Structures are given as structure tokens and as C-alpha cells.
């Protein structure tokens, strides 16, 4: 099955096209995403998921989710559950193929026995430290282990006893017998099994020897019938070993293809550093909305569509890359613009009294829910004598390009009336505390029958009806594009002190209170928001996903 040939093809798709042409895998395409359950997935993982799933889906193939759970020391059930949730949420459909490497432990063990019998693997008595020393380095060849010429029968016996738990952790390993002088360090008799008396999150205490990645990974791919094993570039040097094991075993041989992992500017992308942020209390957990984790982005209000689109636009190549954070923002805005219902919300309220509107009266106005989507319909919003507008929408002494409210000036209150500011009331400190305004009753709905134009339109809420909300404003987590690019300083030094700003007394349309947790919407003229998971009916908490594209900020800057 071929996709539109006109579409540009990344190098991986080109390889698959070629394989399909030659019939290498009988036209099958089967990929996998193999996370280790030792942390939460991040946007970089999302890229890997989307490349693997996207390709399988495109070619009418299959996609497996497989936990690469070969190291019980680092892995936890919490992470397994979180990863499954994230992958599903992203929309990468693995059907019934939620798999575990640990389910193949017996088969891998049998393969290891095979290899020992073939004289291609041996049990080694060297300690970790000794092994390192024997390995040599980039320029000097390694030395053979004293165990290297151990008879096959002896290795076989020792390996079985390793499995039955006879030996303490670290006392022995099973190693492939390749070449201690190989220029590729991975080929210098790499260990295949280590002894680890640890409880495994999936297999419990069944095993006390665990396979090492290089040995396990190709086997997992082979067992599952994977065709194209897509991984990141740091495994390039491991491909030789991947191929070696499969060839020596003479079993089904998938093809490993490497592509560059994705970085995003103004954040960090490795599980290790994300863990440091969580454990060092620099953020409030793995799902902190400032985190580049999928859980964090979901909580912040990013949609699966926007993340997928981001991955698509980022592309696939082998060059180290850093994608602009702005692209991520552009992608969410694109999606949310189409689907997010509009509301009005005032972040920094300034009271407005409409002096020609009767006290105690209220009126119902109609507003469009989403100008991009006619099917979204309309809603009603209450208008009363006392309103709140955004403090930044009023200026006592406006400069030339300020189109909003000012003394004596008329603007439109969205979906309501043309409103003129007649009087500015200040407190003892000279701070503006209230505006006295009048409406033109003929402009109800926002249009003037006489064709009179008004420069600005501002949002507002009825003071009597508005609901209080706490609004979380997020900014980039770091102040520099590449927090890791400064080897002399820890990346935490570049944490942005203003990455979270909580606004306490925002006034929002009452309808917001009825929205379910996680629901995303737009506050007109302000940005996209959603209902936080910690929100409650009597204490609304909103997250700002991303501000609207702000050409106003540029005008202000150019003043």
C-alpha cells in the first residue's frame, strides 16, 4: 500500500517504499514504540510514537506498544500506567498489542543457550570494574577475558546456575564472543545477561538474570515480526551488534533504522533531567503544565491533534535539531482556533458602571460560540449596569495607536453596545478604580444603525453574574534556548522564575463554571485556556494553554 507519491518522503519512508518494491518483507510494515517504564513520556517520545505509528498506519501496517522492561531497578508500575494512557491519548492505536519484553524472557534465555552451544557466548567472571578495564578504549584494543576460552559445557552449566540464583549480583555475566579489538566498542564481547536479584514490575521474582538492551532488543523485534525498527541516532553504533545477534541465531531479521531525536527550544528533553526537575521540586510533578511531558502538555491544554501536527511539521532526518517552541505554539493555536468555543473572561478586572442602564435591570445578549465553526451555535450572555473590563483596555492618556477605551472615547463592548467613557474615578493614591460610561441603546448587539464606526472592540463580563476564577499563566520553563548548552552551569540555573504566574481574582463568564475538567476554550482577545484537573465548582482553576498571537505586543514595543 503506497501513499500519495507526490507527498514529500522522508528517508525512512523511502527505505520502506524500496522494501515494498523488492518485496523484502512481503509488503508488510510493522513498527513498534519500545519505552522503558522509568519515567513519563515527553514531546520527544511523542515524536517517536508518531513516527512509528504514523508510518505503520500510512502503509496499512501494524504498530506495537512494547515495554522494554529489562531493568527492574529503574522501572515502575506507575510509569507503565502513565505511558499507556499517554500513548492512547495521543491516538497511536496499538490495538491488542500491549506487549512486554519481559514476556519473552524464557525465549531469550533459550536463544542464549543456543548461542553458548554455538561457541558464540560465554559466562564471564570479571567484575564490572575489571570488565571496563579489559575493554580498552577508543584507540587501544581490549584484552580477552580469562573466562573467554571456557569450555562450552562449563558456560552452559554456569549460565543455568546463574538463572537458578546460585550467584550473587554482579558476580558473573554472560557475554557474546566477538572481538575484543573491534573498533566499535559495542562489539568487544558485550555482556548479554547480568545477575540482578530484584523484583520486576511485570514478572515479579521469576527471574534473577536480566537481558541487556543490545541482546534483548533485536530479539524482541524479531519475535514480534517487526519489519522496520525505528530508533534514535545514538543506537547507530549498536546496529552492528543488533545484526550480529540475529545473524548468529539465524532468526527473522528486522531492519534497524535510526533517525535524530527531537529537541525543542527553551526546554529539556531527557527523562533524566525531567526527573531532576520533579524531584528537585522545581515543578509540581510530572504533569506540571510547564513540563514538556505529554501529561503536562495535556494538562496545559494541548490537544492530541496539535501534538501530532507538530511532529509532522518537525519532519524526520538524521541531523541533530532543535525545533522552535514557537512552532509548538503555532500548532496548538491552529487546532484550538478551529475547535475551541469562545468566551469572555477578564484577567485583571476594572469596574465599569453604565450610568444610563437601570440599576437592578439585566438584559440577555446573543454571542457567537465560534466564528470558525458555524455549527458551534450561539449562547446568551447577561448585560447589567455594573461590568468588568480588562484594566489594560483602558488608558487615561492613550497614545496614538491605542484603539481601546479612554476618557471621552467610544468603543464597542463585544456583542453588547457602543460604550462611551465619561468619567474616571480614582482612589486616594490616584489609581483608577472605576469608569463611568454610557451606552448608545441603538447599538444593541454591537452594530450602529447610522453606520458609525468604532476603532476598538473589548471584552467584558457582568459584575452581577461573573464567576471568580484563578488563572494560571505559563511561560517558557527556561530563559535560554538551550539550557543544556552551558556545560559550566547546571541547567537549573536557567529556570525561568516567571514561568508560572497565578492570577487570583479573575472574572469570567458564568458558563465557564459548567465546563468539565480538561475542557479547552478561548477567552476572546486573550488566549486559549482549559479547566485544570484541580478545579472545583466553588473554586475555578484555569490554565492558559497559549496566548493568542499578539500583534498588539509588537505595537506597544514599537511605541
Partner RNA sequence: AGUCCCGUGGUGUAGCGGUUAUCAUGCUUGCCUUUGGAGCAAGCGACAGCGGUUCAAAUCCGCUCGGGACUACCA
Scanning 24-32, 39-47, 455-463, 492-500 for contacts with RNA by CB under 7 A, the matching segment is 455-463
For residue 135, the minimal CB distance to RNA (Å) is 5
Site for RNA in 358-417 (CB under 7 A): 370-372, 401-404, 412, 414-415
Residue 502 CB, shortest distance to RNA, in Å, is 23
Count Cα atoms within 13 angstroms, Cβ side, for 117.
Answer: 8
CA torsion sign, 7 to 11 to 17 to 21? positive
- 557 catalytic residue (yes or no): no
Of 496-525, which residues contact RNA (CB under 7 A)?
522, 524-525
Q: How far is the CB of 319 from RNA (least distance, A)?
A: 3
Smallest separation (angstroms) from RNA to the CB of 231: 9
Question: Which of 164, 284, 321, 422 touches RNA (CB under 7 A)?
Answer: 321
- The CA distance from 328 to 474, in Å, is 14
Q: Which is nearer to RNA, 11 or 117 (CB)?
A: 11
Contact call for residue 554 and RNA (CB under 7 A): yes
* C-alpha cell read off for 328: 509548538
CB of residue 185 vs RNA: minimum separation in angstroms?
A: 5
Surface-to-core class of residue 136, CB atoms within 10 Å of its CB (0-12 exposed, 13-18 middle, 19+ buried): middle
Site mask for RNA (CB under 7 A), range 252-271, x = bound: --------x----x------
Beta-bridge mates of residue 501:
473
By CB under 7 A, residue 131 contacts RNA: yes
Q: Please state the separation of Cα 197 from the chain's center in Å.
A: 34
Report the candidate in 127, 192, 123 with the shortest Cα–Cα distance to residue 159. 123
Q: Which of 63, 122, 207, 210 binds RNA (CB under 7 A)?
A: 210
Q: Which of residues 147-176 bind RNA (CB under 7 A)?
A: 169-173
CA angle 103, 107, 108 (to 5 degrees): 95
- Catalytic entry in 28, 175, 188, 271: 271
User: According to the binding rule CB under 7 A, does residue 9 interact with RNA?
Assistant: yes
Tell me the closest approach of the beta carbon of residue 183 to RNA, in angstroms.
4
For position 40 contacting RNA by CB under 7 A, the verdict is no
Q: Which of residues 52-91 bind RNA (CB under 7 A)?
A: 68, 70-71, 74
Residues 6+ apart with CB under 8 A from 270: none
327 binds RNA (CB under 7 A): yes
Residue 29: all three cell numbers together: 510494515
Coil/strand/helix, residue 420: strand
| Stretch of 22-30, 107-115, 281-289, 308-316 contacting RNA, by CB under 7 A | 308-316
Q: Closer to RNA at the Cβ: 28 or 109? A: 109
Task: Let me know: does 37 contact 239? Beta carbons within 8 Å.
Answer: no
Determine if 32 is a binding residue for RNA (CB under 7 A): no
271: annotated active-site residue: yes
Asked if 47 interacts with RNA (CB under 7 A), we say no
At residue 121, φ and ψ (nearest 5 deg) are -150, 150
Sign, Cα dihedral of 389, 392, 398, 402:
negative
CA 316 vs CA 229, 235, 539: distances in Å: 15, 16, 44
Binding mask 189-208 for RNA (x = CB under 7 A): --x--xxx------------
CA 320 to centroid of chain Cα atoms? 19
Given 144, 270, 305, 322, the residue binding RNA (CB under 7 A) = 322
Nearer Cβ to RNA (396/550): 550
Q: Which of residues 287 and 390 has its CB atom nearest to RNA in the complex? A: 390
Figure out which of the listed residues 342, 409, 507, 544 binds RNA, where binding follows CB under 7 A. Answer: 342
CA angle, 402 as apex, 430 and 391 as ends, to 5°?
Answer: 40
Distance, C-alpha 191 to centroid of its chain: 34
Enumerate residues 214-233 that contact RNA by CB under 7 A: 214, 216-217, 233
CA–CA distance, 302 with 304 (Å, rounded to integer):
7
Question: Applying CB under 7 A, which of residues 113, 144, 186, 432 lies at the interface with RNA?
Answer: 186
Per the annotation, the verdict on 489 as an active-site residue is no
And the C-alpha cell for 170?
554482579
Q: Interacting stretch for RNA, rule CB under 7 A, among 330-338, 351-359, 379-387, 422-430?
A: 330-338
Structural contact between residues 48 and 36, judged by C-beta atoms closer than 8 angstroms: no
Interface with RNA, residue 335, by CB under 7 A: no
Q: Assess contact for 559 and 397: CB atoms under 8 A.
A: no
The reply on whether position 273 binds RNA by CB under 7 A is: no
Give me the DSSP letters along 116-178. Answer: HHTTSEEEE---HHHHHHHH--SSS-----TTTT--HHHHHHHHHHHHTT-S-TTS-EEEE-S
In the complex, minimum distance from the CB of residue 125 to RNA, in angstroms, rounded to a whole number: 8
- The nearer residue to RNA, 501 or 549, going by C-beta atoms, is 549
Q: Which of 106, 127, 164, 378 binds RNA (CB under 7 A)?
A: 127
Q: How far apart are CA 354 and CA 243, in angstroms?
A: 78
What DSSP designation does 261 have? P
The set of cell numbers assigned to 245 is: 545477534
Hey, which residues between 235 and 254 contact RNA (CB under 7 A)? 235-238
Cβ closer to RNA: 320 or 517? 320
Residue whose C-alpha cell is 564490572: 128
Antiparallel, parallel or unpaired: β 386-390 and 460-462: antiparallel
Residue 34 sits in the site that holds RNA (CB under 7 A): yes
The least distance separating RNA from the CB of residue 36, rounded to whole angstroms, comes to 4
Asked if 458 is part of the footprint of RNA (rule: CB under 7 A), the reply reads: yes
Among residues 5, 26, 96, 137, the one that binds RNA under rule CB under 7 A: 137
Task: Considering only residues 86 through 125, tell me which ones interact with RNA, judged by CB under 7 A.
Answer: none
Min dist. Cβ of residue 334 to RNA (A): 7
CB 233 within 8 A of CB 321: no
How many helices (H) and strands (E) in the chain?
13, 27
Q: How far is the CB of 152 from RNA (least distance, A)?
A: 21
Active-site residues, by number, are 36, 261, 271
Amino acid at each position: 500500500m503506497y501513499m500519495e507519491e507526490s507527498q514529500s518522503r522522508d528517508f525512512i519512508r523511502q527505505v520502506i517504499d524500496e522494501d515494498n518494491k523488492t518485496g523484502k518483507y512481503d509488503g508488510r510494515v510493522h513498527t513498534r514504540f519500545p519505552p522503558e517504564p522509568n519515567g513519563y513520556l515527553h514531546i520527544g517520545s511523542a515524536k517517536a510514537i508518531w513516527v512509528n505509528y504514523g508510518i505503520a498506519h500510512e502503509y496499512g501496517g501494524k504498530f506495537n506498544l512494547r515495554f522494554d522492561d529489562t531493568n527492574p531497578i529503574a522501572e515502575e508500575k506507575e510509569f507503565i500506567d502513565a505511558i499507556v494512557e499517554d500513548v492512547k491519548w495521543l491516538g497511536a492505536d496499538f490495538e491488542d498489542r500491549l506487549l512486554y519484553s519481559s514476556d519473552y524472557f524464557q525465549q531469550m534465555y533459550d536463544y542464549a543457550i543456543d548461542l553458548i552451544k554455538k561457541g558464540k557466548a560465554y559466562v564471564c567472571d570479571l567484575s564490572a570494574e575489571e570488565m571496563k578495564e579489559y575493554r580498552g578504549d577508543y584507540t587501544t584494543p581490549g584484552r580477552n577475558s580469562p573466562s573467554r576460552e571456557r569450555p562450552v559445557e562449563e558456560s552452559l552449566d554456569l549460565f543455568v546456575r546463574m538463572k537458578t540464583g546460585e550467584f550473587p549480583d554482579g558476580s558473573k555475566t554472560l557475554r557474546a564472543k566477538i572481538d575484543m579489538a573491534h573498533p566499535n566498542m559495542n562489539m568487544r564481547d558485550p555482556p548479554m545477561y547480568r545477575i540482578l536479584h530484584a523484583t520486576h514490575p511485570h514478572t515479579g521474582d521469576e527471574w534473577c538474570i536480566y537481558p541487556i538492551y543490545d541482546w534483548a532488543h533485536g530479539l524482541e523485534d524479531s519475535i514480534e515480526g517487526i519489519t522496520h525498527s525505528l530508533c534514535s541516532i545514538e543506537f547507530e553504533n549498536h546496529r552492528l551488534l543488533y545484526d550480529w545477534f540475529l545473524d548468529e541465531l539465524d532468526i527473522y531479521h528486522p531492519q534497524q533504522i535510526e533517525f535524530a531525536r527531537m529537541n525543542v527550544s527553551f526546554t529539556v528533553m531527557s527523562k533524566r533531567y525531567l526527573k531532576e526537575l520533579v524531584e528537585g521540586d522545581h515543578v509540581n510533578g510530572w504533569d506540571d503544565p510547564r513540563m514538556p511531558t505529554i501529561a503536562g502538555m495535556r494538562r496545559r491544554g494541548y490537544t492530541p491533534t496539535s501534538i501530532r501536527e507538530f511532529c509532522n511539521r518537525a519532519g524526520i532526518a538524521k541531523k541533530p535539531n532543535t525545533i522552535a517552541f514557537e512552532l509548538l505554539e503555532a500548532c496548538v493555536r491552529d487546532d484550538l482556533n478551529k475547535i475551541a468555543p469562545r468566551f469572555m473572561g477578564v484577567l485583571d478586572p476594572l469596574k465599569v458602571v453604565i450610568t444610563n442602564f437601570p440599576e437592578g435591570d439585566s438584559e440577555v445578549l446573543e454571542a457567537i460560540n465560534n466564528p470558525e465553526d458555524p455549527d458551534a451555535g450561539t449562547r446568551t450572555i447577561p448585560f447589567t449596569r455594573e461590568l468588568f473590563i480588562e484594566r489594560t483596555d483602558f488608558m487615561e492618556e492613550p497614545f496614538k495607536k491605542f484603539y481601546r477605551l479612554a476618557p471621552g472615547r467610544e468603543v464597542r463592548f463585544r456583542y453588547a453596545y457602543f460604550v462611551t467613557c465619561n468619567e474616571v474615578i480614582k482612589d486616594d493614591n490616584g489609581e483608577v478604580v472605576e469608569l463611568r460610561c454610557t451606552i448608545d441603546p441603538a447599538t444593541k448587539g454591537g452594530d450602529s444603525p447610522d453606520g458609525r464606526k468604532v476603532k476598538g472592540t473589548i471584552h467584558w463580563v457582568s459584575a452581577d453574574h461573573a464567576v471568580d476564577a484563578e488563572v494560571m499563566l505559563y511561560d517558557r520553563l527556561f530563559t535560554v534556548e538551550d539550557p543544556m548548552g552551558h556545560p559550566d552551569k547546571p541547567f537549573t540555573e536557567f529556570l525561568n522564575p516567571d514561568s508560572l504566574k497565578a492570577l487570583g481574582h479573575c472574572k469570567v463568564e458564568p458558563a465557564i463554571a459548567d465546563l468539565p475538567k480538561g475542557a479547552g476554550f478561548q477567552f476572546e482577545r486573550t488566549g486559549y485556556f482549559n479547566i485544570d484537573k484541580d478545579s472545583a465548582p466553588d473554586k475555578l482553576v484555569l490554565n492558559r494553554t497559549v496566548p493568542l498571537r499578539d500583534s498588539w505586543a509588537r505595537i506597544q514595543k514599537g511605541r
